[in-house]
Structure 1
Amino acid sequence: MITIYDIAEKAGVSAMTVSRVINHTGRISEATRKRVRKVMEDLNYIPNSMARSLVLQKTNILSLLITDITNPFYTTLARGAEDAALRAGYRLLFANSDEDYAKEKGYVEMILSTRVDGVLFAPTGDQSLENLQQLQKHQIPFVVLDREIPEIEADLVLGDSKEGARKLVDHLIGLGHRRIALINGSPDVSTARLRYTGYREAHLLSGLPVEDSLVVHLNYRDFHDETALDALLHHENPPTAIFAANNMLAVGIIQSLRHRGLQVPGDISVVCFDDFGPVDAITPFLTVASQPAYQFGLLGMQLLIDRIEGDSAQEHRKMILPSELLIRASTQPPKENR
Structure 2
Amino acid sequence: MATIYDIAKQANVSAMTVSRVINNTGRVSEKTRTKVKQVMEEMHYIPNSVARCLVTQESKVLSLLITDISNPFFTMMARGAEDMAHKYGYRLMFGNSDENLDKERQYVEMILSMRVDGVLFAPSNDMSIEHLRWLERQNVPFVLLDREVPGITCDTVLGDSRIGAKQLVRELIKRGHRRIALVNGLENVSTARERRLGYEDALVEAGLPIEENFMMSSSYVHDKQQFTLSHWLHAEPDKRPTAIFAANNMLAMSVLNKLEEEGVKVPEQISVASYDDLGMLEQVNPFLSVVSQPAYEFGQQGIQMLLERIRNRNQGPQSVKLPCEIHINRSVQDLAASSLIATY
Deviation at residue 277 of structure 1 after TM alignment: 1.8
Structure 2 unaligned residues grouped into runs of 5+: none
**Partner residue in 1 for 2:24:** 24
Give the drift of 1:251.
0.7
Distance 2:266 2:224 in 1: 17
Which residue among 239, 243, 251 is the counterpart of 1:249? 251
TM-score, scaled to structure 2: 0.93
Conserved in 1, the CA contact under 8 Å of 2:218 and 2:226? no
- In the TM superposition, residue 254 of structure 1 has moved relative to its aligned partner by 0.6
Which letter maps to 1:138? Q
Secondary structure, aligned partner of 1:228? coil
Q: Does the 8 A contact of 1:223 with 1:252 survive in 2?
A: no
1:225 Cα deviation after fit: 4.7
Give the aligned partner of residue 33 of structure 1. 33
Shift, 1:311, TM fit: 1.3
- Mapping of 1:287-306 within 5 angstroms? 287-306=289-308
Does the residue aligned with 1:243 lie in a helix, a strand or coil? strand
Which residue pairs with 1:273 in the alignment? Answer: 275
| Offset, 1:18 | 2.2
Q: Give the CA deviation at 1:14.
A: 4.3
Point out the more displaced range, 232-241 or 174-183.
232-241
Q: Please tell me whether the aligned partners of residues 177 and 240 of structure 1 are also in contact (alpha carbons under 8 angstroms).
A: yes
CA contact (8 A) 1:216 1:228 kept: no
Shift of 1:334: 3.7
Give 1:198 deviation, angstroms.
Answer: 0.5
Tell me by how many angstroms 1:223 deviates: 6.8
CA distance in 2, matches of 1:91, 1:226: 37
1:20 Cα deviation after fit: 2.9
Alignment partners' CA distance in 1, 2:41 and 2:110: 32
Deviations 1:201-231 (A, max 9, x none): 0011111111111011111125785643122
- After TM superposition, give the deviation of residue 30 of structure 1 in Å: 5.0
Residue range with higher mean Cα deviation, 187-196 or 11-20:
11-20
2:161 match: 161
Displacement, 1:59? 1.3
CA 153–247 in structure 1, closer or farther in 2 if over 3 Å, else same? same
Which whole-Å CA distance do the structure 2 matches of 1:217 and 1:54 have between them? 47
What is the 5 A alignment of 1:13-162?
A: 13-26=13-26, 31-162=31-162
Distance in 2, matches of 1:34 and 1:181, equals 67
Give the Cα–Cα distance (whole angstroms) in 1 for the partners of residues 68 and 153 of structure 2. 24
Runs of 4+ in 1 over 4 A off after TM superposition: 26-31, 222-226
Separation in structure 1 between the aligned mates of residue 109 and residue 183 of structure 2, nearest angstrom:
33
Q: 1:158 to 1:6 in 2, by over 3 A?
A: same
Aligned residues between the structures:
337
Give the Cα–Cα distance (whole angstroms) in 1 for the partners of residues 41 and 304 of structure 2. Answer: 32
One-letter identity of the residue aligned with 2:271: S
Which moved further from structure 2: 155-164 or 53-62? 53-62
Paired residues of 2:272 and 2:289 also in contact (CA < 8 A): yes
Q: Which consecutive unaligned segments of at least 5 residues does structure 1 have?
A: none
Question: What is the aligned partner in structure 2 of residue 315 from structure 1?
Answer: 316
Counterparts of 2:225 and 2:76, CA distance in 1: 26
Mapped to 1, the partners of 2:299 and 2:254 lie a distance apart of: 26
| Percent of matched pairs sharing the same residue | 55
Aligned counterparts of 1:297 and 1:9: Cα–Cα separation in 2: 44
Contact conserved, 1:240 with 1:334, CA < 8 A, in 2? no
2:118/2:142 contact within 8 Å kept: yes
CA offsets per residue over residues 276-305 of structure 1, 9 Å max, x none? 222221121101000000000111011111
| Preserved contact between residue 247 and residue 276 of structure 1 (Cα < 8 Å) | yes
Give 1:172 shift: 0.3
Report the counterpart of residue 210 of structure 1 in structure 2: 210
Tell whether the 8 Å contact from 1:223 to 1:249 is kept in structure 2 after alignment.
no
Return closer, same or farther for 1:224/1:91 CA change in 2, 3 Å cut-off: closer
- C-alpha distance in 1 between matches for 2:322 and 2:233: 34
Which amino acid letter does the alignment assign opposite residue 33 of structure 2?
R
Query: Which range moved further: 328-337 or 96-105?
Result: 328-337
User: Root-mean-square deviation (CA), in Å?
Assistant: 1.8
Give the Cα–Cα distance (whole angstroms) in 1 for the partners of residues 85 and 187 of structure 2. 33
3-state SS of paired residue (1:63): strand
In the TM superposition, what whole-angstrom CA distance separates every residue of 1:86-134 from its partner, at most 9, and x where no partner exists? 1111111111011111211111111112211111000011011111011
Q: Distance in 2 between matches of 1:157 and 1:311?
A: 18
| Rounded Cα–Cα distance in structure 1 between residues aligned with 2:127 and 2:335 | 40
Q: Secondary structure at the match of 1:133?
A: helix
Deviation at 1:268, TM superposition (A): 0.4
Q: Which amino acid aligns with 2:319?
A: K
Task: Give the match for residue 186 of structure 1.
Answer: 186
Report the Cα offset of residue 26 of structure 1: 5.0
Counterpart of 2:79 in 1: which secondary structure? helix
